[in-house]
Structure 1
Amino acid sequence: MTSTAPAQSSKIKKATAQFMFSHPAHILAQGFGSGLSRIMPGTAGTLFAWLIFDLFSQRWPDIFTPSHWFWIISIGFFVGVWACKITGKNIGVADHGSMVWDEIIAFWLVLLLVTPADLKTQFYAFIIFRFFDMVKPPPIRYFDQRFKGGFGVMFDDIVAAFFTLLSFAVWRHF
């Protein structure tokens, strides 16, 4: 007898706190809850990244040095590939909107490379990064469509970070 009901693993689950706390990968992928925002979760995740970067860098400057941030971001990328793969599989969507670890890591990279900078400059970095992440102009769209799974989730945001930094380089040159 053939069942017409979809398999449980293919059913899309709702992004809730209960889902987030059901696996450590979900907590990370959903940005410690920032991705559960009902309004623009990617933007909420990026704001969370900005807050954490500034807070940690100011509160513990001897620990959160630029070289330590580099290692945190590097390791965070690879851990994020794992967390986003698991979370995407468990929630039923490979790149679910509640998964914001990719925005967090990518924006930390932007902040690492534009700071020290005043609040106004950091705000411009935020706006430019969000533009590239949301609009996904070519070639970001190419990478978003080409690479799948946890790596794909993480990589297109790194490309968005690259274009944000390239925009800053061009802006500062002129």
Structure 2
Amino acid sequence: MPSFRPLPPGCTFWQPTTLLATVGGIGLIRVASGTWGSLAALPLAWLLWRLGGPLAVAAAGIAIGLVGIWAAGAVCRGGEPDSSAIVIDEVAGQLLALAPVAGMPWLYPFAFALFRLLDIAKPWPISWLDRELGGGWGVMLDDIAAGAAVAAIGAAVLAGGLA
């Protein structure tokens, strides 16, 4: 049975912003909550690809990112600037990372691992976004930038015929 972290200050579980920011509570898993959030995006990417192709996956990543700015911002106002419980940013970023390869599930592990690496290591300019932007913008945009970087790499690999 997984261990769960407490809710961020000022939040109750059934608040819409908390439910969205924690992706239905996935972010409350104590160990590797960001990884669990990224994993949640994998079946969603496949479903979206089946329904509308790579543009549907990318559009969902952007839409979730916009909703996440609001939801994460509301959770951040409780006192924690970037709570580990907020994982909507991982879902948005992972969807963007998967968009070019969404129809090729055998490439998901590579897009997943590269996204997690960039999200954790935060090379420049991802680190700048994380450090300089506050509230929901800061929570979301570093992951969106990491996802966009992985998407660009995935598109280049596909364009080069390497996949």
Q: Structure 1 length as normaliser, TM-score?
A: 0.78
Q: 1:113 aligns with which of 83, 88, 100?
A: 100
Note the C-alpha offset of 1:27: 0.4
| Number of residue pairs matched by the alignment | 153
Matches within 5 A, 1:1-174: 14-15=6-7, 19=11, 21-54=13-46, 56-57=47-48, 61=50, 64-66=51-53, 67-90=55-78, 92-119=79-106, 121-172=107-158, 173=160
Give distance in 1, aligned partners of 2:59 and 2:33: 26
Q: 1:23 to 1:102 in 2, by over 3 A?
A: same
1:140 aligned partner, one-letter code: I
Whose radius of gyration is greater, 1 or 2?
1
- TM-superposed CA distance for 1:41, in Å, is 0.4
How much has 1:85 moved relative to structure 2?
0.3
Give the Cα–Cα distance (whole angstroms) in 1 for the partners of residues 102 and 57 of structure 2.
Answer: 12
Counterpart of 2:72, as a letter, is C
Structure 1 residue 111: Cα displacement:
1.5
Which one is further off, 76-85 or 106-115?
A: 106-115
Identity %: 29
Deviation (angstroms), 1:37: 1.1
Amino acid at match of 1:25: T
- Whole-angstrom distance in 2 between the partners of 1:51 and 1:37: 19
Could you list the runs of 5+ residues in structure 2 that have no partner in the other structure? none
Supply the distance in 1 between the matched residues of 2:52 and 2:87 (Cα, whole angstroms). Answer: 24
> C-alpha separation between the residues in 1 aligned to 2:118 and 2:56?
26
The C-alpha deviation readout for 1:79-124, integer Å capped at 9, x for no partner, is 111000001112x2121111000110111112222221132x1110
**CA shift for structure 1 position 169:** 4.3
Unaligned runs of 5+ in 1: 1-12
The RMSD of aligned alpha carbons is 2.2
One-letter code aligned to 2:125? P
Instruction: Indicate if the aligned counterparts of 1:20 and 1:30 stay in contact, CA closer than 8 A.
Output: no
AA in 1 matched with 2:33: P
CA distance in 2 between partners of 1:158 and 1:110 (Å)? 9
